[in-house]
Amino acid sequence: MNDKLPRMDYRQHRRARRLVHECCNYDGGNCLLLDDGEPCVCVQSISLSLMCRWFRVAVLPLDGELAAALLYRGSRKRCAVCGAAFVPKSNRGKYCPDCAGRMKKIKAAERKRKQRQRCHALEPFKPA
């Protein structure tokens, strides 16, 4: 994670505001961590750039695409199939987690089809 404050656009801000409701410190629009006797509004719901540490560590990873867009700007990639932003697990990562399973099945089917085709090509020729 980089130390620069990520700046959200409006669509990302809406997704983050929806995600704030999943936080265990969220109580009716107020943050229990910041509560010192009087109610304090959750920072993520009113700011485009500020995010509390708990939200970054515990809540934001629930939405992988939003986390990749905000926290891993330099190391994120675009999926070759759907174009969604994701953080690759290795330098060879090409697909987002949603598309990776589907592409694995497709590639395996192609590979097996090609293997069967080569195997049948080796059979001896039988004259009719």
pTM of the predicted protein model: 0.51
d(CA 88, CA 74): 12
Check residue 109 and give its pLDDT. 96
Output the DSSP codes for the chain: --SSPP---HHHHHHHHHHHTT-TTEETTEESSS-SSS--B-GGGT-SS---HHIIIIIGGGSHHHHHHHH-TTT-EE-TTT--EE--SSTT--S-HHHHHHHHHHHHHHHHHHHHHHHHHTSPP---
Check residue 11 and give its pLDDT. 86
Q: How far is CA 24 from CA 58, 64, 111, 123, in A?
A: 9, 19, 47, 65
Check residue 88 and give its pLDDT. 85
Show the low-confidence residues of the chain (pLDDT under 70).
1-5, 35, 74, 121-128
